[in-house]
Amino acid sequence: MEEDEKKLSKIGIVSCSGEDLPEGTISRLATLEVLHHKKPFDTTTICLPLYIAGGEGDRMFAKNHPTITVDGCEKLCAKKATEKYSGKVTHSINVRDFIKNAAEIKNKSNLNDSEKKLVSEVADVISLKVDEILKENNK
């Protein structure tokens, strides 16, 4: 993929699935908030495990799109898997960097107010980063 073609692409957002921890749900919902509400025309996504289960087209994702990964913990699975199978990520976000009181983040579904607030904060950060990348690419 030529750099010029990549400049015209939507921004890719790849969330960890994080089934084993509440932060995985936060990363997933924040990603969905950006994809569906904040930046629906500027963003796209892929199911992360398709890097293994899918085809060559799926593994071209980060080559075709400037990509932001959203992870729920320090293992950074979304970032590592994207860079292992697809291509270098443009920006990486870890939900845990935004948690002020870890004791309040405990649900994997039926989120409490603190968890909903965190979803909103992380979605805002992703959205800002999308704007930055778009601005940079349109220079």
Partner 1 sequence: MTGKKVVVIPCSGIGKPIGTVSRETANEVMRLRPDAADTVCLASLTSGDEEAIKKVKNNHVITLDGCAKHCAEKNTQACGKEPDKSYMILKFAAQNPDKKPEGIADIGKDGRELVKTISKKIISDIDEIIQNEKNRV
Binding stretches for partner 1 (CB under 8 A): 15-21, 24, 28-29, 31-33, 36, 45, 47-54, 72, 75-78, 80-81, 84-85, 108-109
- Say if strands 67-71 and 11-15 run parallel, antiparallel, or are unpaired: parallel
How near is the Cβ of 95 to partner 1 at its closest, in Å? 13
How near is the Cβ of 47 to partner 1 at its closest, in Å? 5
How near is the Cβ of 36 to partner 1 at its closest, in Å? 8
By beta-carbon proximity to partner 1, the closer residue of 75 and 100 is 75
By beta-carbon proximity to partner 1, the closer residue of 13 and 125 is 13
By beta-carbon proximity to partner 1, the closer residue of 100 and 107 is 107
Task: Provide long-range contacts, Cβ within 8 A and 24+ apart, for 32-38.
Answer: 33/119, 33/120, 33/123, 34/123, 34/126, 34/127, 34/130, 38/123, 38/124, 38/126, 38/127, 38/130
By beta-carbon proximity to partner 1, the closer residue of 51 and 125 is 51
Going by C-alpha positions, the residue among 105, 125, 123, 127 that lies closest to residue 114 is: 105
Structural contact between residues 118 and 99, judged by C-beta atoms closer than 8 angstroms = yes
